[in-house]
Amino acid sequence: MSTGEADKLLQDLRTVLSISRAMTLEQDLDRLLDLIVNSVSDLVQADRASLFIVDHDTEELWTHTAQGSGIIRLPIGSGIAGTVAKTGDTINIEDAQADDRFNNENDKRSGYHTRSILCMPLINHNDVIVGVLQTLNKKTADNFNSYDEEILGALCSQAAVAIDKTKLIAADLERQTLAHDMEVARTIQQSLLPDSEPTMDTWVFAGYQECCDQTGGDYYDFVVSNDEKDCDVIVGDVSGHGIGAAMMMSTARAFLLGQYERETQLDSLIGGLNNLLERDMSDDTFMTMCIARCHADGVISYVSAGHEPPFICRLADKDIKELDSTGLLLGALDDSEYDIESTEPLTKGDIFVMITDGIFEAHHKDTGEEWGVERMKACIVKHADSGAKAVLDGLLSELREHVGGKQGDDDITIVVGERL
């Protein structure tokens, strides 16, 4: 090796070290990729350079930075870069136009003429190919040589580690942001639930809700009449759970409370809500709802839009009955009609329970068996003579024993009313 060659090697190694230090300090992925591409072009005197990121989930690689040529996407195994991503081997081509692996469509679109190509993999510490670095048209010679391969190879190994690190940082920041946003959403949704149960001379209530995610699609509320004699108990359930269901639940709540400003008849209330939701709901989303109006004389009038209607437990004979649904689920058809049904008056100590299906569909901790409606009804009967709060506590206790502390697959809402 001549003195000139030794000096150049030393200078290039210092450049590689300087670039490696800069990559180590950079925590933003966009800036890191720009840094790598610009540094490579200078280091091997390439006319252009592109850095392809490998997505193993989609089996695709794409250029985050492609100097002068925009974004390019291709499947792993396709073209020069795709072949390197698949095999992990360096490809050094003197005449790109004569190579069968070269796709000249980009040249035709851009008017650029590719002569020589040096394409190398970026392999991390786990021997996983995270990217492909491709340089085009060496400025100072006809083609890239073995020296360019050695210098670029030294940089590629550092670049792979830097990209991995920066992606982890970005993923962690995204996770933290999502966790914060979900907590804000949970707080907002919880604020939409009743602060407490209404206090009435003729009824006492106990309510509970638990989401299987941070947010959910269940909804319950109380609306007391202006003369404070009647109270509407509302329970709803949006299909699915998570942030999407929570947003639809919040929309339904706002629509329903708006309906109360101009309507008091149960069938008109829920019919108007259905028409509003039908405009906004997608074909794969639906909502069920039941509104039970507890009258001062002990009668319960209700409308059920595809939702589990109330369960009535008469204290005198411990007889429990599930009432009938009265109409289609919400958002299915415009102008759906809903019938109002009424019970015989409840007497002192009688209990009614409204739920969402997450309670009886909860799975056993070991066998996976559903808790089921019959177990739920037996639990209601067992605790009925101790009042609304005891029934709620009993349901939750037996349900938690059934699931063994395991997180449920669906949201759970329970509202219990007791006739005074």
* pLDDT tens, residue order, the chain (420 aa): 566 556 666 666 677 777 777 777 777 877 888 888 888 888 888 998 888 989 888 899 987 544 444 567 889 998 899 999 999 999 999 999 988 888 888 788 888 999 999 999 999 888 899 999 999 999 988 889 988 888 888 888 888 888 888 878 877 887 887 776 667 666 766 777 898 999 999 999 999 998 876 666 788 999 999 999 999 999 999 886 677 777 888 888 999 999 999 889 999 999 999 998 888 776 677 889 999 999 999 999 999 999 988 999 999 988 899 888 888 888 878 888 899 999 999 999 999 999 998 888 888 888 989 999 999 999 999 999 999 999 999 999 999 999 887 766 788 999 999 999
Every domain of the chain and the residues it spans:
3-167, 183-419
* Distance of alpha carbon 420 from alpha carbon 416, whole angstroms: 13
183-419 under CATH 3.40.309.10, yes or no: no
Residue 391 tokens, joined = 């029934």
- Exposure b/e, 165-198, CB count within 10 A at least 16 = b: bbeeeeeeeeeeeeeeebeebbeebeeeeeeebe
Contact between residue 206 and residue 391 where contact means Cβ atoms under 8 Å apart? yes
For 3-167, CATH gives: 3.30.450.40
Strands (E) in 261-328, as ranges, are 287-294, 300-305, 311-314, 319-322
Taking the whole predicted model, whether its pTM rises above 0.75 is answered as: no
CB 23 within 8 A of CB 159: yes
Angle at the Cα of 242 from the Cα atoms of 330 and 238, rounded to 5 degrees: 10
Paired strand residues for 53: 62, 131
Q: Give CA–CA dist 269/278, Å, rounded.
A: 14
Give the residue from 328, 227, 320 showing the smallest Cα distance to 281.
328
Query: How confident is the model at residue 298, as a pLDDT?
Result: 96
Check the CA dihedral 56-49-113-69 and report its sign: positive
Q: What tokens does 338 get?
A: 């809903």
Q: Which of 241, 238, 240, 234 is nearest to 186 (CA)?
A: 241
Q: Could you check whether 3-167 and 183-419 share the same CATH topology? A: no
Work out the angle at residue 186's Cα, subtended by the Cα atoms of residues 205 and 329, and round it to the nearest 5 degrees.
Answer: 60
Count of other CB atoms within 10 angstroms of residue 393: 16
Write down the pLDDT at residue 197: 94
